[in-house]
Chains A and B, each alone.
Chain A
């Protein structure tokens, strides 16, 4: 007899051995909240969207932005901000559409695929924000070099001392340093959260792919 056939023989007999759950217990269960991976991804994604939105709103009222109002650079800042909001709306809508598609009645491969796609959209949103942050930093630097009186004064002074390159290097260096810390922090956060959450899912997905190719 093949190994699995022995198990099959007993598998059938096994029906009566489980502790039966009553109807009352099932009623209770269906009113409890799910703790599935999808729910966790959804919660984390909402927190992410909120985080980035709050961050951009906070920056809008920040000192730097007030300073920028005085420079009259709306022709640069307004389109840039519009791109930010359009990006937020687009990604949120896409994320929601994908999330709605997740259904436990699909086949296993399709279900994992949909979950990973949903996750990917949020991932793209994070990249969008990182690139947006880098572009913001470049624009802010450019505007400050051209409009900030203190910086202009410093550059003029440095021209007399032949140290203009040093001033530019310090400013650009500090910006790169802050951006690097910011990106490293976000990267670490994602590795940690999603590494733990999606490890098993990726493993099963790879296993299915391996069977089919």
Chain B
């Protein structure tokens, strides 16, 4: 692949890397694994890049490939099976808006999201990213109605985990 293509890819990925980091955060439970999945997603994105026509935003195209990699292509190591106490909220709060109660709730929420399966996590991710149900359904390859129903069930499931 040509050097200019490589340059364009690296630049766009560097600018849009946060969306990949968010997926890594949802699907892994430690820094090493996060880096590992980030690398695999980068490789898959690079492999698929020649087919990227630019008719959608790079970030939209990238998050789909990234989700696919996390759900289907990435081989989870044994480390990820054991749920480690990975403090996912450690970056959330800046000193000036620190709120103890919210932080505790967020910790619980993250723990609950971790208990969801890979597909449910994908739905949650797209919900958090404000994707509409048409896009969620298309990304997963299910019908829009069923995506909506499933999302409501997940909300119910999270509520149950948080308020047993």
A-to-B contact residues, CB < 8 Å? 2-4, 6-8, 10-11, 13-15, 17-18, 20-23, 26-27, 29-30, 32-38, 40, 103-112, 115, 197, 200-201, 203-204, 207-208, 211-212
Inter-chain contact total with CB atoms closer than 8 Å: 158
Return chain B residues, CB-CB under 8 Å to A204: 71-72, 117-119
**Top 3 A-B pairs ranked by shortest CB distance?**
A109-B141, A17-B91, A107-B141
Can you list 12 contacts pairing A with B, beta carbon distance less than 8 Å? A3-B162, A4-B128, A8-B130, A10-B106, A18-B17, A29-B42, A34-B40, A34-B47, A38-B73, A110-B141, A212-B142, A212-B143
A23 with B11, Cβ < 8 A, contacts A36-B69, A111-B68 known: yes
A30 with B44, Cβ < 8 A, contacts A35-B75, A36-B73 known: no
Are B72's CB and A37's CB within 8 A? yes
Are B119's CB and A207's CB within 8 A? yes
Which residue on A lies nearest to B46, using beta carbons?
A30
A33 to B64, CA, bound (A): 21
Q: Contact string, B27-51, partner A, CB cutoff 8 A, digits 1/0?
A: 0000000000011101111111001
A4 with B127, Cβ < 8 A, contacts A32-B39, A208-B142 known: yes
Return chain A residues, CB-CB under 8 Å to B139: 107-108
Q: What secondary structure prevails in chain B residues at the interface with A? A: helix
Q: Chain A's nearest CB lies how many Å from the CB of B40?
A: 6
Which of under 10, 10 to 19, 20 to 34, or 35 or more describes the interface residues of B? 35 or more
B-to-A contact residues, CB < 8 Å? 6, 9-11, 13-14, 17-18, 21-22, 38-40, 42-48, 51, 61, 64-65, 67-69, 71-76, 91-92, 102, 105-106, 109-110, 112-113, 117-120, 122, 124, 127-130, 138-143, 146-147, 149-150, 155, 158-159, 162
Are B65's CB and A105's CB within 8 A? yes
Are B146's CB and A211's CB within 8 A? yes
Are A108's CB and B72's CB within 8 A? yes
Return chain B residues, CB-CB under 8 Å to A15: 18
Return chain A residues, CB-CB under 8 Å to B159: 3
- The listed residue (A2, A3, A20, A30) touching B6 by CB distance below 8 A is A30
Are A103's CB and B109's CB within 8 A? no
A108 to B97, CA, bound (A): 38
- The listed residue (B6, B65, B129) touching A104 by CB distance below 8 A is B65
A21 with B17, Cβ < 8 A, contacts A2-B155, A108-B68, A108-B72 known: yes
Are B48's CB and A105's CB within 8 A? yes
